Amino acid sequence: MKMPVSIGKNSLLLLLFALVTAGILATTYEGTKEKISIEERKAAQKALLEIIPQSRFDNDILLDTITLPESARDALGKISGENIYVARKNNSIVAVIVPAVAPDGYNGDIKLITGVNTDGTIAGVRVLTHKETPGLGDKIDIKKNQWITSFFGRSLQNTSDDNWNVKKNGGEFDQFTGATITPRAVVKQVHKILQFVEEHQKSLFTQAKLNNVDETPNNAEKANKQ
C-alpha cells in the first residue's frame, strides 16, 4: 500500500524541521557555552565572596581547591565532583569553604556552602539551591531573610552538640513560623561540616599547604585574569 503523497511530504517537512531545530540548538549552545561558563563562575565567586570578603584573601579561591575525599560523602551529603575552596592571605591559609547537601529539607535536598576559619569558627554560610516552600522554608535564602547569618562566629567550642538544633527542639537556633523542618535540616548539616573540618583539620590544612607550592599574590592576579 502506497503512502499518500501529503503524508510523505509532511513527514519530510517534520524531519527537515527537526534537523534545522537541532542545528540551531547546537549552534546556540556552542555560541553561549563560554558565556554560560563565565556567568556560572561569577555566581560561584559571588557566593564565596559573601562568606569570605575580598579583603581577607589574595588568591583565586575558585582555582585554589582541594578535591573532596571519598570519606567526606557521609558527612557532607550527596555531593559529586565538588571541591573544598581555600582562601589565603600572604600565602597563609585563612579559611576553607566546604560544600555540602542537607538531604532532609522539607522538599528535598538543600545545597549549601560553609566557610570555616582556621580557628574553627564559621566565617559564613550560604544556601545555593533549594526547593523549600516560598514564604516559609525559603527564609534560609539570604535574599529572603537574614537567618542564615546567625551561624557567623559559631564553632564546636562555643556551641555544644546539644545546642546545634532549633529552639523548638532544645537548641539555640531560631526556627521559622510554620516551618521547623527546613532550618533544622540546615543547622544539622552545618554542624556536620564543622565536625568534618575538625576531624580532618590536620590533613585538610596540610593538603591545602601542599597545593600552594607556587601560590603567590602575583600568581593569584594572573589566575584572576584568565
Mapping DSSP to helix (H, G, I), strand (E, B) and coil, where does residue 116 land? strand
Per-domain residue ranges for the chain? 1-51, 53-210
Q: What does the DSSP 8-state code read for residue 58? A: -
pLDDT tens digit string along 168-208? 999 999 999 999 999 999 999 999 999 999 998 887 777 77
Residue 215 has pLDDT above 60, yes or no: no
- Per-residue CA distances from 48 to 39, 41, 115 (Å): 14, 11, 8
In the chain, % of residues over pLDDT 70 = 79
- In the block, which residue shows the cell 557532607? 76
Average pLDDT over residues 115-125: 96
Residue 84 has pLDDT above 80, yes or no: yes
Residues 41, 155: Cα–Cα separation, whole Å:
29
The pLDDT confidence band at residue 220, using thresholds 50, 70 and 90, is very low
Per-residue pLDDT, 20: 75
Sheet hosting strand 92-105, strand order edge to edge: 65-67, 83-89, 92-105, 108-117, 122-129
Pairing relation of β-strands 122-129 and 83-89?
A: unpaired
Average pLDDT over residues 113-140: 94
Q: Which three cell numbers stand for residue 134?
A: 516560598
Q: Read off the pTM.
A: 0.75
Exposed, middle or buried: residue 56 (CB in 10 Å: 0-12, 13-18, 19+)?
A: middle
Residues 32, 120: Cα–Cα separation, whole Å:
41
Q: Which of 170, 106, 171, 172 is nearest to 139 (CA)?
A: 106
Contact 113, 98 (CB under 8 A): yes
Average pLDDT over residues 144-167: 97
More confident residue, 221 or 132: 132
Q: Which of 157, 191, 153 is nearest to 171 (CA)?
A: 191
The DSSP H or E segment spanning 34 is helix 5-51
Mapping DSSP to helix (H, G, I), strand (E, B) and coil, where does residue 97 land? strand
